[in-house]
Chains A and B, each alone.
Chain A
Amino acid sequence: MGNLFKIAIRNLLRYKRRTLLTASLITIGVVFVLVFISVSGSFKNMMIGQITDSMLGHLQVHRKGYVASIDNLPLNLNLKAGAIARLENILDKQPEIEAYSPRIKFGGMFSNFVETTNIRLVAVYPDREFRTVPLLPLRITNGGKALNRGEILVPDLLAKGMKVKIGDTVVVVATNKDSSVNGKQFRVAGIVEGITGPGGRDGYIHIEDATELLRMDAMEISEIAIRLKDFNKLNPVNQKLEGLLSKELNQQDKPIFELHTWEKLTPFYNIARMIDVMTFFIKLMLIAIVLISIMNVMIMAVYERIREIGTIAAIGTLPGKILNMFVIEGFCLGVVGAAIGNIVGIAVILILNMMKITFNFGQQKGLLLRANIYPMDILVISVTVIIVSVIASLQPAFKASRMEPIKALRHV
């Protein structure tokens, strides 16, 4: 085998310019794919991180049927105290869960005593909410990173429109599920930066203020947001919780709860999927580049060496060995292209990170691009390039191995 490699490498070096051009083409393809994967992956992870860590959480549990009407924020589909206790009992036993936060979500009127407008509010236990969505405190651009009873965090666009500032007193008026209207005064404790996506422009109050405002006799919640210790275990934990929650039935023997991952709760999942699809097509382009360039160079190599093939076949080289000789040439080209491509690609990614490129995502400005590539991506791309190189060499190599020595020797 070592001798086949020696002959293959010498044959590649025999046509230096052509080998260099083909290897360069593969290298450029590999670099392009690595950089694209690292940048798009970084953007995707950042986007998912922003959405889950500052707003949604990794998973959410609602009363069955709530998500279908989620835009209405229906108070009549809240989870009651008994259901909350059963749910918390299950969640407390799951070692994979980092934190969870009960929320009441409702709509109301927001008044600064001069003007009135609509507001969507999320009522939370601040400490539990901040542990479940740890980027939320970072969104509080003005004021303290806390939320006490009687205080409100106002979305920044609303604050600008209504000209309210930290320390101002405002009134929130809301209708409860029995259609009775109630109002409550709040002190503006902070301005919360809006982010793109559902719930990204909601205000925050303390959950106990919400129970008062909505005149709840007992605790009711709209949802529980869950944060996992390891985001990569989202699917297995989701399956596990699905299994546990499906056993919790109401008096009609119907499931009480519905569980959703972040993917089902935001349209940004489709953007993440689109990035995956784009990455897939970029990889397909790489495969096409490798396939066509290697096949082209190997077809030329076979055509130029017909007499040589005739000679080695005449002196007794078995067809399988002739096939191997050409396949190994393609393999070596693939290995060289992949190796150089990986080195250059990693260098480009390092340079991109050193340049500290920033970009905007919705309302968020100046997010730092952290391009990174995983060893598994490098391995998959390298193996793909090498396998495609071998596949591309097979047809010309097979042709060479099937050549009649007598015809090959006559070739001019």
Chain B
Amino acid sequence: MSLIIADNVKKDYHAGDVTVSALKGLSFEIEPASFVSFVGPSGSGKTTLLNLIGCLDKPTEGKLTVAATDVLHLDRKQSASFRGSNIGFIFQDFNLIPVLTVYENIEYPLLMVQSTPAEERKKRVTALLEAVGMIEQKDKYPDQISGGQKQRVAIARALVTKPKLVLADEPTANLDHKTAYMVIELMKKMRDELRTTFIFSTHDQKIVGEAEIIFTLEDGNLLDRHVEGGKQNG
């Protein structure tokens, strides 16, 4: 069964009397353990779509099912619980908590969202620190590490709860090309190891090529769906 099913999903924003259609009826499906990219210019609707999939916002029309849950009918608290259990987030600006160390940032979702026992927490955080190559920096604070390292910590934080899906909005936008490539490789490696679905948005064509499935968006429409080794119309 598909992990994500979008059926004629629309999203309108209202600015005074003006209605702006950010998404104009998108339909698609994403299978588990996919490595997916949404590409398109600024204003094409990438971030809006990621926000809907991530239960941070609700569609104006249409049906959106994520991990067999109709996210349209979740209330505020249910959305938070759903995100905590099923979705990991990686942000463009890393968004690490500045008062927590690298270790504590990764541990945070287990501690504050899932209330995982201490022993299990330690096991999972240590494994991820090793996987993302940050074990040496575990006691450093975010302002003591580089941008690439911060994004590695953010990836570990997103994966620590063993989510079905990780959403990354422009995860490489604030990184140099070499570091950006390494971050994407790390995401791919984690997908292979953990079988987690990764969806990221980008407008960097070199990074786009690393995705296995590429959805191209323009003006709120899905233009095409490109699969590694073939191409399908959206």
Name A's B-contacting residues (CB within 8 A): 3, 7, 10-11, 13-14, 307-308, 310-319, 321, 405-406, 409
Which residues of the other chain, A, contact B80 by a CB distance below 8 angstroms?
A: 313, 316-319
Cβ–Cβ < 8 Å partners of B109 in chain A? 315-316
Q: List the B side residues contacting A317 at CB < 8 Å.
A: 80, 84, 112-113
CA–CA, A148 to B51, complex, Å?
100
Whether B99 pairs with A7 at a CB distance below 8 angstroms is yes
- The answer to whether A406 touches B51, judged by C-beta atoms less than 8 angstroms apart, is yes
In the complex, chain A residues whose CB is within 8 Å of the CB of B144:
none
A316 with B99: in contact, given A3-B111, A406-B57 (CB under 8 Å)? Answer: no
The smallest beta-carbon distance between B31 and chain A, in angstroms, is 24
Contact of A316 with B83 in the complex, beta carbons under 8 Å: yes
With A316-B109, A318-B77 known, 7 other A-B pairs at CB within 8 A are: A10-B100, A314-B89, A315-B88, A315-B108, A315-B113, A316-B114, A318-B81
B95 and A311 contact, CB distance less than 8 A: yes
Residue B85 is within 8 A (CB to CB) of chain A in the complex: yes
In the complex, A409 Cα to B89 Cα: how many Å?
12
Instruction: Report the Cα distance A278→B108, complex, angstroms.
Output: 49
CB nearest neighbor in A for B48: A406
Choice from B56, B97, B99, B112 contacting A314 with Cβ under 8 Å = B56
Asked if residues A314 and B100 are in contact (CB atoms below 8 Å), the reply is no
Residues of A within 8 A of B77 (CB): 318-319
- Is A321 a contact of B112 with CB atoms below 8 Å? yes
Q: Give chain A nearest CB distance to B144 CB in angstroms.
A: 14
1/0 per residue B71-90: CB within 8 Å of A?
00000110011111101110
A3 to B116, CA, bound (A): 13
Q: Is B54 an interface residue (CB 8 A)?
A: yes
Which residues in B have their C-beta under 8 angstroms from that of A313? Answer: 80
With an 8 A cutoff between CB atoms, is B98 at the interface? Answer: yes
Bound state CA distance, A146 and B95, in angstroms? 86
Q: Which residues of A contact B158 (CB under 8 A)?
A: 315
Residues of A within 8 A of B114 (CB): 316
CB under 8 Å from chain A, chain B span 111-162: 111-114, 157-158, 161
CA distance A316 to B111 in the complex (A): 11
**Contacting pair A314 B83 (CB below 8 A):** yes
B91 CB-CB contact with A under 8 Å:
yes
Are A315 and B56 touching (Cβ within 8 A)? Answer: no
Q: Which 9 A-B pairs have the closest CB atoms?
A: A316-B84, A10-B99, A311-B95, A316-B113, A406-B56, A316-B83, A406-B57, A314-B89, A405-B56
Name the residue of chain B whose CB is nearest to the CB of A316: B84
Closest chain B CB from A401 CB (angstroms): 10
A412: shortest Cβ distance to chain B, in Å? 10
Task: Select one of A311, A319, A405 contacting B97, CB under 8 A.
Answer: A311
CA gap between A317 and B108 in the complex, in Å: 9
* Contact (Cβ within 8 A) A14 B98: yes
Contact B97 A308 (CB under 8 A): yes
Distance A100 CA – B113 CA, assembled complex (angstroms):
71
Asked whether A315 and B76 contact (CB < 8 A) given A321-B112, A406-B51, the answer is no
**Bound state CA distance, A307 and B94, in angstroms?**
11
Contact A409 B99 (CB under 8 A): no
Are B112's CB and A3's CB within 8 A?
A: yes
A3 to B113 alpha-carbon distance, docked (Å) = 12
Q: For the complex, what is the distance from the CA of A305 to the CA of B114, rounded to whole Å?
A: 23
Contacts of B93 in A (CB 8 A): 307
Bound Cα distance from A343 to B145, whole angstroms: 41
Complexed CA–CA distance, A3 and B95 (Å): 19
Smallest Cβ distance from A384 to chain B, in angstroms? 29
The minimal Cβ–Cβ distance linking B20 to chain A, given in whole angstroms, is 15
Instruction: Tell me the nearest residue of chain B to A9, going by C-beta.
Output: B99
Could you show 17 A-B contacts with beta carbons less than 8 Å apart?
A: A3-B112, A7-B99, A14-B98, A307-B95, A308-B98, A312-B108, A313-B80, A315-B108, A315-B157, A315-B158, A316-B109, A317-B80, A317-B112, A319-B80, A406-B51, A406-B56, A409-B56
For residue A314, which residue of chain B has the nearest CB? B89
**Across-interface contacts of A321 in B (CB, < 8 A):** 112
CB-CB < 8 A to B157: which residues of A? 315
A residues in contact with B82, CB < 8 Å: 316
Which residues on the A side are within 8 Å of B87 (C-beta)? Answer: 316
> Taking CB as reference atom, which chain A residue is nearest B87?
A316
Given the known interface contacts A317-B84, A319-B77, the answer about A311 and B112 at a Cβ–Cβ threshold of 8 Å is no
Residues on A with C-beta less than 8 A from B108 are 312, 315
